[in-house]
Structure 1
Amino acid sequence: MRGKLTVQFALLALAWGASFLFIKIGLEGLSPAQVVLGRLVTGAAALAVIAAVTRQRLPREPVVWAHLTAVAVLLCVVPFLLFAWAEQHVDSGLASIYNATTPLMTMLVALVALPGERLTRSGLAGLAVGFAGVLVVLAPWQGSAEGTLAAQAACLAATSCYGLAFVYLRRFVSPLGLPTVAVTTVQVGVGAVLMLAAAPFVAISPVQLSWRVVLSVTVLGVVGTGLAYVWNTNVVAGWGATTAATVTYLTPVVGVALGIVVLGERLSWHEPVGALVVLLGMALVQRRTGAATQRRRAKNRTPQDSQRRRETVVGD
């Protein structure tokens, strides 16, 4: 079982890391909105097949659909559009580096929106280190062109949307206890419907299809937006959320490497240095947050919980 999860973890890192390469190639013949439209439609189709095969029942309550529509906007439509637009002006590798700021953005939003979230001084220091790394990546001392700065700001806006979406999920969707595949199918499906409705207004640019473009958008949707959600769910269930979150350490490595090897992109010294600083800050935040969570669980654990835990260990 562990070997299977290891393979899925590796595939997840490859899928999410390669997404930025596929976006860049898709932009060779499509507009940003058309790339997102293709990504969401193919992703929704893949998830619908998975839900049907696994016999996942979709939620029917209107309030659940309303919450998942908000998630679809924050987790799919808006950030996908922002990253696709940004990659017209910045390398795919740089976009993947900015994607690594997602946990920092999530923690920042959680501190504001979730009353129960608290960080130690070391955790707050981790946030500060992480955002210092963002500044190193941004390299304001270089005086980048206006379009490049706007694109980098769009990448950070996209990860801010991810942060808002994850906190929204935790506060309004997770307590409902719904199956993850069903939730993801509705979420991506609603995003696809929203993009289809907006297509006559935002996706009307001329299309220049090639096998590279078609293949990239298809893989981006089926693998990066479909299968990857299932792999992530399995890894979280098997290894826990904290360990599963370490995939974020690998996705920028994959994204940068593919950008250099496949597209011939060049890496400035400050980009990997800044990325390492961001990951260091993220590691500090996760370590302190995880330790605090364990202390709270130990404090609230009852004697019955301890007895069940001992019985489980013996049973294994």
Structure 2
Amino acid sequence: MRNPATAAFVSLGLIWGSNFIFMKWASETITAGQVTFLRVLFGFLPIVVYAAVRRVLERRHLRHVHHFFVMSVLATSVYYFAYAAGTALLPSGIAGALSGAIPLFSFVAAALFLRSERVTPTRLLGVLIGFGGVLLIARPWVADGDLDMTGVVCMLLGSASVGLSFVYAKRFLVGLDIPGAALTTYQIGLGLLTLAVVTDYDGITAIGEDPRALLALVLGLGLLGTGVAYILYYFIVDRLGAITASSATYIPPVVALAIGWLLVGEPLDVLDAAAVLLILVGVMVLRLGGRQAAPETLPDPADEAAP
């Protein structure tokens, strides 16, 4: 591709979509908590280097450290742990498909906690369609279904956590004149410190005995899936704008499902494909409703998500 921004856009969607098979492989060797810690550790390295090169880290930012800590819990520690735990219990493609619900949770949280967020009939329809897709994947009405409901709950908890983080950022961080690369560095850095304290390291060295899992975790989840992904995101925001950058979130559920089905041999039926389509249609309708609502000075939470 001749356009660097377009190439970055496609690459970001593919990287995010591949995160789930990498989590699956890593979780076969070590615990979800250990996967989360190592992912954040190796993801933090390129992020802090990028922020240092851009010279966006400033001492004055420390006055907002309490907000950075909340973001680290919502958008790093809980988010990544819940996804690692959920993916360990589910087929990687189904886990990736459920991640498509992040914008739905973002809007619900915004409607509950932000006075400026309008609940229009179009937006409500989008939420209902999207969550209809989630239900179609989970199928809780099937008593002895194939999916582990604990895994489904973990994925939805992770989606809800990061969805709430966008609303928190909109309420407390937007307008502080802090570059996104700096915010990400503080968020991931504090998340790393928290995880370093709470992680049980017993058996963590087992990851070195499985080359596939080690490569998936260090390169796939850490350096690429966390570090490079954030750098690509900010590059796209700078070149194409935040709304276009957020559209990359349509790609991961499809990529994750395709990888699980075509490359790993995970089962895929018509209902699973229809469910992913419903989620994506719901998100698109939700965003359409946001465009029709009265203009706001802050970005729509439904436009922001990252696996």
Report the TM-score, using the length of structure 1 for normalisation: 0.87
CA apart distance, 1:109: 0.3
2:106 matched residue in structure 1:
106
1:31-52 Cα distance to aligned partner (Å, 9 max, x none): 1111111100011111111122
* Equivalence for 1:304: none
The range that moved more, 227-236 or 170-179, is: 227-236
Query: Letter of the aligned partner of 2:290 in structure 1?
Result: T
What secondary structure is seen at the aligned counterpart in 2 of 1:141? coil
Contact 1:68 1:183 in 2 (8 A): yes
2:277 corresponds to 1:276: yes
Give yes or no for contact 1:99–1:155 (8 Å, CA) kept in 2. yes
Alpha-carbon distance between aligned partners in 1 of 2:266 and 2:95, rounded to the nearest angstrom: 12
Deviation of the 1:232 alpha carbon? 1.2
Residue 267 of structure 2 is matched in structure 1 by: 266
Secondary structure of the equivalent of 2:56? Answer: coil
* 1:146 positional shift: 9.5
Q: CA–CA distance in 2 between the matches of 1:211 and 1:262?
A: 18
- Work out whether residues 58 and 186 of structure 1, in 8 Å CA contact, stay in contact via their aligned partners in 2: no
Deviations 1:277-302 (A, max 9, x none): 111111111011023244x68xxxxx
- 1:1-316 equivalence runs, <5 A: 3-144=3-144, 148-199=148-199, 202-205=200-203, 207-208=205-206, 209=208, 210-219=210-219, 220-294=221-295
List gaps (5 residues or longer) in structure 1.
Answer: 298-316
Task: State the AA in 2 paired with 1:174.
Answer: V
| Cα deviation code 1:218-268 (max 9, x no counterpart) | 121111111111211222233233222221211111111112233221113
Percent sequence identity is: 31
State the SS of the aligned residue for 1:30: coil
Aligned mates of 1:232, 1:122 — CA distance in 2: 28
Q: Residue 155 of structure 1 aligns to a residue in which SS?
A: helix
Aligned residues: 294
Residues of 1 paired with 2:205 and 2:145: CA distance? 28
Root-mean-square deviation (CA, aligned residues, Å) is: 2.0
Change in CA separation of 1:223 and 1:234 when aligned onto 2, cut-off 3 Å? same
Question: Counterpart amino acid of 2:202?
Answer: I
* Cα gap change, 1:206 to 1:44, in 2 (>3 Å): closer
Superposed CA deviations along residues 156-186 of structure 1, whole A, max 9, x for unmatched, are 1110001110111111111202011111111
Q: How far did residue 58 of structure 1 move? A: 3.9
Q: Which one has the largest radius of gyration?
A: 1
Structure 1 distance, partners of 2:256, 2:245, is 18
Instruction: Name the CA shift for 1:68/1:206 in 2 (closer, same or farther; >3 Å).
Output: closer
**Matched residue, 1:311:** none
- Seen in structure 2, the aligned counterparts of structure 1 residues 64 and 22 have a Cα distance that, compared at 3 Å, is same
What is the deviation of 1:206? 5.5
**Alpha-carbon distance in structure 1 between the residues aligned to 2:204 and 2:226:** 25
> 1:242·1:290 contact (CA, 8 Å) conserved in 2?
no
Farther off after superposition, 6-15 or 238-247: 238-247
Q: Write the distance in 2 (CA, Å) between the matches of 1:149 and 1:123.
A: 28
Quick one: which amino acid aligns to residue 211 of structure 2? W
Q: Which amino acid aligns with 1:24?
A: K
The whole-number CA distance in structure 2 between the counterparts of 1:94 and 1:118 is: 31
Paired amino acid for 1:12: L
The aligned amino acid for 1:283 is M
SS at match of 2:89: coil
| Amino acid across the alignment from 1:84 | A
1:12 alignment partner, SS class: helix
Going from structure 1 to structure 2, the CA distance change for 1:9 and 1:59 (only over 3 Å counts) comes to farther
Structure 2, unaligned runs of 5 or more: 298-307
